[in-house]
Chain A
């Protein structure tokens, strides 16, 4: 590659860098889909506003956890998801992507499949509580995006999760 191409490429990249924020416009929560980590929470409203995504994250709870190699929902998870369903019913302008995750104690492909099971378990539950299926997508990150990075059960327990990431249908 000649020098000119390199210069042009760098320039082009710089120009596109701005786009990463644009992509996040409609995303709330620390979901993995967006390029900007945590930046998505900016502008998501005050936690005190019950219709804000921040409230959903912090007061309702945007995630549920699973036992080792399991995708069944425990009582705590059901309670959280019930509250999520209520919130989604009251705020029909939002859609959600449910992200399934696994801890690092497993092979890559299997963990992708396991994460999908978890995300789907959460989605099925929300649907059973009245959320329209078309508002809910799922994706699995397997073990690719841990929240906690230690190699202890304390961290693993937090990584075996399904996170409901809101996006505003109006923002698109």
Chain B
């Protein structure tokens, strides 16, 4: 209402302004802009020490790839550069960067002393000739050079966009190999961009749907190790694990941590019926949250821990519901055509991502937590299992290709639906879960 009033006032101001003898500045209102990737340049970082040139260049490349990969930025390649930065401390020749229309410029320097790596950088708004934020320095080991690059990229990203980055994060997923009818699956972890893949289990048993803890130190997953699906919790650092739920004659699956990191919500099947339970991970104490003769599964907490979104076919088809975290009455939030599953609450709390099946196609979509403003982001033969980037701006999911040779691949997409792109993994990959930002 206030906005409406303001607009009217503004319109009125526009109306009378030319008539009144103009005093004060000319006023115009801009309501239409463009949405396009912001052109930026990352000239090679300056090696401060002997032998740092290679890693300095690689760090610059990773930063540029991080930023370009968001779709919000577009790198102006080195081949187009006029200027060169050979001294981190020297003033920037902004004219050189304006000339190639670089709007943001990232400069940096790298020094290596033994195994110790130090990276300094600055971000510049080229056209106003101002620095965005202050220079920053990261120190670590040479082993961790990629992480340093991701840290720098996160800082650049947040200085330009105003929201947190997501590059210094990891993804736990299921690495797949072998034919469709005898697929080998093992848990693996990697940097968000597909680098540094490490395996957390062998492929002796089927493993499904790993989920990070809120602090990123543990992973819940489902394994057929005993012949029956059971939930395990695995310490990522030490790769120590234990089974959580071993009730005879039942299956437990679809686990997810509560924001407190102590409670786990999951599905338990008994006598063909699947319901949602929560469990204290330390005491093992369980509480039943739903009791319906229908399938209730894929629960996910809101970031404040007060609500749970889940899927149920109590209406006859898979749909999304929200209930209090303590159980109780559930409210249906999905009403569009088709079936809705695998809801995941965004880390910002304002959206829910989901898988939708309609007319033989699968979509990844987002909606408000009350089910309004549904927006489908993708469409393919089989997309499923969204997971949110730590900043709530990007979604990663599994896309499976059709047919006998079908394979699973991870993809990312911006929540506007732009910038759909595959994540490069060795072999097939499914069921991604994005970690929070590392510290």
Chain A in direct contact with chain B (Cβ < 8 angstroms) = yes
Residues of A that sit less than 8 Å from B by CB: 33, 35, 37, 69, 71, 97, 104-110, 112-114, 116-117, 119-121, 123-124, 137-141, 144-151
Interchain nearest-CB distance for B365 vs A (Å): 13
Contacts of B382 in A (CB 8 A): 104-105
The CA-CA distance from A124 to B384 in the complex, in Å, is 32
* Contacts A109-B267, A116-B274 given; does A149 touch B341 at CB 8 Å: no
B residues within 8 A CB of A33? 227
B295 near A113 with CB under 8 A, answer yes
**Known contacts A104-B400, A108-B384, A109-B267, A149 near B179 by CB under 8 Å:** yes
A139-B228, A139-B251, A147-B181 in contact; A105/B357 too (CB < 8 A)? yes
Closest 5 CB pairs of A and B: A120-B272, A113-B274, A107-B341, A149-B180, A113-B295
Type the 1/0 row for B169-187, where 1 means its CB is closer than 8 Å to any CB of A: 0000000000111110100
Please, which residues of chain B bring their CB within 8 A of the CB of A71? 272
Docked-complex contact A150 and B404, CB < 8 angstroms: yes
Interchain Cβ contacts within 8 Å, total number: 109
List 14 contacting pairs A-B, 8 Å CB cutoff, sorted by A. Answer: A105-B357, A105-B382, A107-B385, A109-B253, A110-B341, A112-B253, A112-B267, A113-B295, A116-B251, A120-B271, A139-B251, A141-B206, A146-B181, A151-B381
Whole-angstrom CA separation of A119 from B274 in the bound complex: 13
A140 touching B269, Cβ below 8 Å: yes
Which B residues have a C-beta under 8 Å from some C-beta of A? 179-183, 185, 204, 206, 208-209, 224, 227-229, 249, 251, 253-254, 267, 269, 271-274, 295, 297-298, 311, 313, 317-318, 341-342, 355, 357, 360, 381-382, 384-385, 400, 402-404, 406, 431
Known: A119-B272, A149-B404. A110 touches B311 (CB 8 A): yes
CA distance A105 to B338 in the complex (A): 13
CB distance from A114 to the nearest CB of B (A): 7
- State in angstroms the CA–CA spacing of A124 and B298 once bound together: 26
- In the bound complex, do residue A110 and residue B318 qualify as a contact, i.e. CB atoms below 8 Å apart? yes
* B357 in contact with A37 (CB, 8 Å): no
Contacts of B357 in A (CB 8 A): 105-107
State the CA gap A37–B341 with chains docked (Å). Answer: 32
Partner of B384, one of A107, A140, A148: A107
Residue of A nearest to B354 (CB): A107
